Amino acid sequence: MRNEKFWVKICGAERVSSKGPPFDDAVPFARALIEAAPDRILWGTDWPHPNVGKHMPNDGDLVDLFPLMAPEPALQKKILVDNPARLYGF
């Protein structure tokens, strides 16, 4: 994340979790990425989860993790609206 050319989508909690559902042990990883480069973070669910392992995630549960990853409303807007608009030019 030190390289200004790199962007990261915080998703895949079901892949990095060692506990399984609700995959909340993935939150610290997302927070670390957000802290490192809040202006170059995107969010998504990875639906339809092509590389699913042991547990098929419920997308509603994954959405519920987002406010744990980015608790402040201004940061949520940045990740969900401002950053994608800047990256994709819309």
As annotated, the active-site residues are 46
- The angle subtended at Cα 88 by Cα 29 and Cα 86, nearest 5°, is 75
DSSP 72: S
